[in-house]
Amino acid sequence: MTQTDEPFDGRRWHDMGGQPAGPVPDDQHDFSIWEKRIDALMVISSTKGYFTVDGLRRVLEDMGPDAFDTMTYYERWMASINQNLIEAGVYSTAELAQKMSEVASRGNTYGDAAGG
Amino acid sequence: MPPVGKRHYMRVRADMPPGHVRTPAYLRGKTGWVERVLGPFPNPEQLAYGHQGENLSLMRVRFTMGDIWGAAAENPQDTLDAEIYSHWLEPAEPPHAT
């Protein structure tokens, strides 16, 4: 389908409906445990009232097209959930930094980190 | 599908605000008719920024491909349904002679 001849000044990058597109990849893959956890984190965050799927989408859109090209689907979700949780005051950037440091100190493998 | 004379035609506002909206750009400025009213839902454009969402009517609007894409439409009589919040819609005349 070709784009209409009317220009859409101000159309944002993620608003792709009607734009030229390549083939649709239909390959599937099993989700990793961390991807399932990110999905669960979104459900928990929404259930607890920290933010909604609309907040998730808003940050995904604000990341811009570079993130769409360089990050995987759940990597983008992880970044958006984190941004929304900080905005909601669930934790601070400093608390996040401390926690990341603690987890990293447990070891490099999933098993080491989970067993800490 | 209601008879043409009983359709409530609505035009999608042609606005382009820079924030989070749920109305696709390719439908802005286009006219369709109300297929059904889905009921009140909180405004996602407020929810997206952590605010309480005002309850708005969500409409399922039916467009013809010809009215969306003009001469580029492959099958102009085919229809497309989109669910659009009422603050994006304004009453309109039918977009073409039928």
Over residues B14-56, the pLDDT tens digits come to 999 989 999 999 999 999 999 999 999 999 999 999 999 999 9
What does the pLDDT average to over B81-89? 98
ipTM of the complex: 0.86
What is the pLDDT at residue A6? 53
What is the full DSSP assignment across B7-46?
A: --EEEE-----SS--SS-GGGTT-EEEEEEEEEEEE-HHH
Q: DSSP character for B72?
A: G
Q: Across all residues in chain B, what is the average pLDDT?
A: 94
Residue from the list B20, B28, B53 with its beta carbon closest to the beta carbon of A58: B20
For residue A16, the distance in angstroms to the closest alpha carbon of chain B comes to 8
Q: What is the pLDDT of residue A21?
A: 87
Q: In what order do the strands lie in the sheet with B31-42?
A: B79-85, B55-64, B31-42, B9-12, B89-91
Percent of chain B predicted with pLDDT > 70: 98
Residue of A nearest to B75 (CA): A1
Per-residue pLDDT for B67 more than 90? yes
Burial of A85 (0-12, 13-18, 19+ CB in 10 A): middle
How wide is the angle at C-alpha B46 spanned by C-alphas A53 and B18, nearest 5°? 95
- Going by the DSSP 8-state scheme, the letter that residue A32 receives in this structure is P
Question: What span, in angstroms and rounded, lies between the C-alpha atoms of B17 and A53?
Answer: 20
Pairwise CB contact (< 8 Å): B29 & A6 = yes
Question: Is B52 an 8 Å CB contact of chain A?
Answer: no
pLDDT attached to residue A115: 66
- Distance, in Å, from the CA atom of B3 to the CA atom of A114, rounded to the nearest integer, reads 63
Contact at CB, A54 and B72, closer than 8 angstroms? no
> What pLDDT, on the 0 to 100 scale, is given for residue B43?
98
- The pLDDT of residue A68: 87
pLDDT tens sequence across A46-95: 999 999 999 999 999 999 999 988 999 999 999 999 999 999 999 999 99
* Residue ranges in chain A assigned as alpha helix (H): 33-47, 53-63, 65-70, 73-87, 93-106, 110-114
Provide the shortest C-alpha distance from residue A52 to chain B (in Å): 7
Q: Which residues of B touch A15 (CB under 8 A)?
A: 24-26
As a whole number, the mean pLDDT across chain A is: 89
State residue A28's pLDDT score.
85
- In angstroms, the CA A6 to CA A28 distance is 36
Name the residue among B18, B25, B74 with its Cβ closest to that of A8. B25
User: What percent of chain A is predicted at pLDDT more than 90?
Assistant: 67
Cα distance between residue A61 and residue A84, in whole Å = 13
- Nearest chain B residue to A8 by CA: give it: B25
Q: Which residue has the higher pLDDT, B47 or A2?
A: B47
Kindly list the residues from chain A whose CB atom is less than 8 angstroms away from the CB atom of residue B72: 1-5
